[in-house]
């Protein structure tokens, strides 16, 4: 009996040991290198090998299936309606624009290069007229030529906000600031081409006539919302389920939230396209509901990269950093994570009370809460992202957040509290999205450090999916007493206009969907933006951007946490990989390929 029991125990212990061993090694399925069924091993390019430089370009081959995974589907695959950064990046597979981001790594990727157009615009009339000529041989997926009218119609769709909501509306605001045009679906013009600001004298020529000059106009035309759409293929609200392709790939199937498959568009020709290399034969995107599960699949080698490009989950990141570091890149995302102080909530109407929070915060602890210097980013010292021209990065640090005051400066905070008439501190509320654990951790860190200087901050976790109507409503913010809002923002295009206009210009204080949370109404800042859009010289534009950033920081409206960085997975089977500032540090999808 005793022997029998001991035997059972031994078996149980052995089983437990096997399970433990399996659990500890389960995460190592993929390895830094990967071996295919024929025994060929793909070598990892190394840590940060594709960050701002091209990795393993020489190993790229045509063919194969490029497999994306994603924890979130696009807001819309309709070029007019998509606003997610990865959607703009991915849309270049099936959609072309007159101009687009340069297919190059790092800062060069934020430049503009001709795509459908033969060359950059001929700009005249003091920056109010832009003229383009379309290339020969550019076609739709049915082989018909892409015309200037298709480009005009595609842009006109932005006006149909009652049907096609959600996308960026820069072109609408710039081309028709008075809102006179009602969109193609209410257009009486026989070809639905009634927008007066765009002329199409022939099928190859398109002329934009801006009521007022805007020096970022080409940046706006490089957004996918300026893609051509053919009127006879426009299925309106349903267009997002199967956009009609003008790029090297076309939709084969799409089941929202499940899977998207693109196959080659055999009517596209490499000669007509200086931007896209179109290496893979097929591109698929599989959506997951759990980011940890997705990361595990990436590490296991089932997929090549994350389409969302917002960094790995903490669990996946830890495993990847320990065991597969050579498959990771650590780019700057272009986002700044920060706290903002609405002036409608007392005592944040007083500049000194705002500065007391800035000095009182422990910036190193906030950085740690964001994930530390690698997964979170460098300590943010001002409000202009490093990828935006005019940014000085950490060199501009007016409150010494990354220097002497890195751990907070209680003395300076007390001085500011005295100056604002609250020497004993005050009470306030921090609003933070409940669906962003990192933001909640940041709020807790801020709460702890402010307590040391006498500022009692209560944390209110609100429904993150209702951000636009909860913190986007100044009335609600005031009613709830949100003195501090935890948020983040990235540029729509790399310029102070593409980043800061909705945050800092007084015209952008809205009743709902507001992003100027601080309620900044500063005539000098407004004036600098007006100067910026009229200025055509790049160096001078950068100078104005710097000035705007300085004005915002001097007002003490924001407490920047980090210049955000991500840890992104790069399969060892990928070739010709590079990050691009044009897509906020994401890999430039359109030129990715698989190894030979």
Partner 1 sequence: MLAYLIRRLIAAAVMLVVIIVVVFGIFFLIPKWAGIDPAANFVGKQADPAAIEAVRQKLGLAEPIHSQVWEFFKGIFAGRTYVGGGDVTNCAAPCFGYSFRTEQEIWPVLMDRFPVTLALALGAALLWLLLGVSAGVLSALKRGSVWDRGAMVIALGGVSLPIYFTGMVSAAIFIYGLGWIDGQFVPLEESFSGWMGGLILPWITLAFLYAAMYARITRATMLEVLGEDYIRTARAKGLAEKTVISKHAMRSTMTPVLTMLGMDIGALIGGAILTETTFNLPGLGQAVLQAIRTQDLPVILGVVLITSIAVIIANLVVDILYSVIDPRVRLA
- Positions touching partner 1 (CB under 8 A) are 19, 22-23, 25-27, 29, 72-73, 75-76, 83, 160-163, 165-170, 173, 179, 183, 185-186, 236-238, 240-241, 255-258, 288-290, 292-294, 296, 300, 302, 435, 463, 465-470, 472-473, 476, 492, 501-502, 508, 510-513, 515
Q: Which is nearer to partner 1, 213 or 241 (CB)?
A: 241
Q: Minimum CB separation from partner 1 for residue 240, in Å? A: 7
Q: Which is nearer to partner 1, 29 or 211 (CB)?
A: 29
Q: Minimum CB separation from partner 1 for residue 457, in Å? A: 23
Q: Which of 495, 584, 502 is nearest to 540 (CA)?
A: 495
For residue 437, the number of C-alpha atoms closer than 13 Å in the C-beta half-sphere is 3
Instruction: Report whether 362 contacts 355 (CB < 8 A).
Output: no
Q: Minimum CB separation from partner 1 for residue 184, in Å? A: 9
Instruction: Report whether 321 contacts 373 (CB < 8 A).
Output: no
Q: Which is nearer to partner 1, 80 or 215 (CB)?
A: 80
Q: Minimum CB separation from partner 1 for residue 287, in Å? A: 8
Q: Minimum CB separation from partner 1 for residue 144, in Å? A: 24
Q: Which is nearer to partner 1, 302 or 444 (CB)?
A: 302
Q: Minimum CB separation from partner 1 for residue 475, in Å? A: 8
Q: Which of 512, 508, 556 is nearest to 349 (CA)?
A: 556
Burial (CB count within 10 angstroms: exposed 0-12, middle 13-18, buried 19+), residue 36:
exposed
d(CA 183, CA 93): 26
d(CA 211, CA 181): 14
Q: What dihedral do alpha carbons 475, 480, 483, 488 form, nearest 10°?
A: -80
Q: Minimum CB separation from partner 1 for residue 390, in Å? A: 21
Whole-angstrom distance between the N-terminal and C-terminal Cα of the chain? Answer: 62
Q: Which is nearer to partner 1, 8 or 596 (CB)?
A: 8
Q: Which is nearer to partner 1, 13 or 19 (CB)?
A: 19
Q: Minimum CB separation from partner 1 for residue 373, in Å? A: 29
Instruction: Report whether 580 contacts 109 (CB < 8 A).
Output: yes
Q: Minimum CB separation from partner 1 for residue 300, in Å? A: 6
The DSSP bridge partners found for residue 134 are 117
Q: Which is nearer to partner 1, 120 or 510 (CB)?
A: 510
Cα dihedral 259, 52, 494, 555 sign? positive
d(CA 594, CA 66): 7
Q: Which is nearer to partner 1, 437 or 513 (CB)?
A: 513
Q: Minimum CB separation from partner 1 for residue 47, in Å? A: 23
d(CA 193, CA 522): 39
Place of tokens 């430049």: 111
The DSSP bridge partners found for residue 209 are 129
Is-cis flag, bond preceding 406, omega within 30?
A: no
What are the structure tokens assigned to 80, written together? 């007019």
Classified as helix, coil or strand, 128 is: coil
Q: Minimum CB separation from partner 1 for residue 229, in Å? A: 15
Q: Which is nearer to partner 1, 129 or 300 (CB)?
A: 300
What are the structure tokens assigned to 510, written together? 């809205």
Q: Minimum CB separation from partner 1 for residue 515, in Å? A: 6
d(CA 151, CA 134): 10
d(CA 452, CA 395): 28
Classified as helix, coil or strand, 537 is: coil
Q: Which is nearer to partner 1, 52 or 310 (CB)?
A: 310
What are the structure tokens assigned to 357, written together? 């929070």
Q: Which is nearer to partner 1, 160 or 420 (CB)?
A: 160
Residues in CB range of 460: below 8 A, 6 or more apart: 429, 430, 431, 432, 480, 482
Q: Which is nearer to partner 1, 269 or 468 (CB)?
A: 468
């Amino acid at each position: 009996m005793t022997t029998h029991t001991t035997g059972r125990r031994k078996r149980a212990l052995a089983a437990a040991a096997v399970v433990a061993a399996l659990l500890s090694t389960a995460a190592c399925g993929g390895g830094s290198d990967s071996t295919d069924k024929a025994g060929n091993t793909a070598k990892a390019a190394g840590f940060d090998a594709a960050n701002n430089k091209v990795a393993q370009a020489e190993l790229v081959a045509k063919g194969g299936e490029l497999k994306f995974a994603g924890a979130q589907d696009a807001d819309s695959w309709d070029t007019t309606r998509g606003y997610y950064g990865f959607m703009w990046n991915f849309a270049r597979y099936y959609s072309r624009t007159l101009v687009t981001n340069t297919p190059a790594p790092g800062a060069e990727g934020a430049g503009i290069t001709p795509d459908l157009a033969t060359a950059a615009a001929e700009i005249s009339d003091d920056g109010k007229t832009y003229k383009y000529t379309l290339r020969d041989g550019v076609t739709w997926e049915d082989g018909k030529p892409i015309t200037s009218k298709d480009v005009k119609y595609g842009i006109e769709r932005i006006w149909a906000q009652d049907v096609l909501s959600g996308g960026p509306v820069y072109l609408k605001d710039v081309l028709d600031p008075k809102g006179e045009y009602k969109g193609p679906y209410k257009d009486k013009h026989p070809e639905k081409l009634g927008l007066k600001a765009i002329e199409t004298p022939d099928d190859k020529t398109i002329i934009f006539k801006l009521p007022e000059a805007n020096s970022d106009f080409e940046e706006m035309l490089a957004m996918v919302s300026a893609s051509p759409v053919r009127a006879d293929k426009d299925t309106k609200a349903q267009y997002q389920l199967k956009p009609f392709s003008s790029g090297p790939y076309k939709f084969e199937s799409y089941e929202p939230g499940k899977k998207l498959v693109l196959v080659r568009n055999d009517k596209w020709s490499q000669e007509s396209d200086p931007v896209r290399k179109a290496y893979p034969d097929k591109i698929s995107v599989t959506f997951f509901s759990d980011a940890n599960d997705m990361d595990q699949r990436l590490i296991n080698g089932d997929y090549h990269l994350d389409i969302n490009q917002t960094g790995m989950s903490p669990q996946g990141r830890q495993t990847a950093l320990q065991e597969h570091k050579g498959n990771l890149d650590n780019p700057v995302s272009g986002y700044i994570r920060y706290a903002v102080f609405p002036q409608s909530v007392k005592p944040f109407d007083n500049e000194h009370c705002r500065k007391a929070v800035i000095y009182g915060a422990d910036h190193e602890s906030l950085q740690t809460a964001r994930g530390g210097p690698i997964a979170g980013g460098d300590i943010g010292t001002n409000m202009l992202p490093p990828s935006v021209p005019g940014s000085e990065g950490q060199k501009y640090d007016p409150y010494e957040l990354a220097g002497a005051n890195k751990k907070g400066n209680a003395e300076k905070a007390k001085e500011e509290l005295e100056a604002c008439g609250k020497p004993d501190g005050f009470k306030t509320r921090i609003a933070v999205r409940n669906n962003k654990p990192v933001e909640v951790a940041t709020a807790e860190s801020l709460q702890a450090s402010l307590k040391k200087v006498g500022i009692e901050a209560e944390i209110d976790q609100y429904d993150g999916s209702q951000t636009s109507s909860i913190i986007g409503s100044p009335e609600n913010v005031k009613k709830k007493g949100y003195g501090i809002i935890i948020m983040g923002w990235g540029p729509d295009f790399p310029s102070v206009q593409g980043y800061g206009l909705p945050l800092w210009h007084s015209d952008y204080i809205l009743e709902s969907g507001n992003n100027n949370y601080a309620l900044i109404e500063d005539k000098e800042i407004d004036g600098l933006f007006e100067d910026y859009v009229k200025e055509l010289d790049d160096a001078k534009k950068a100078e104005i951007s710097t000035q705007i950033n300085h004005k915002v920081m001097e007002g003490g409206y924001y407490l920047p946490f980090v210049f955000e960085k991500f840890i992104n997975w790069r399969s060892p089977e990928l070739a010709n990989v590079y990050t691009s500032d044009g897509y906020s540090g994401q890999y430039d999808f359109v030129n990715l390929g698989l190894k030979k």
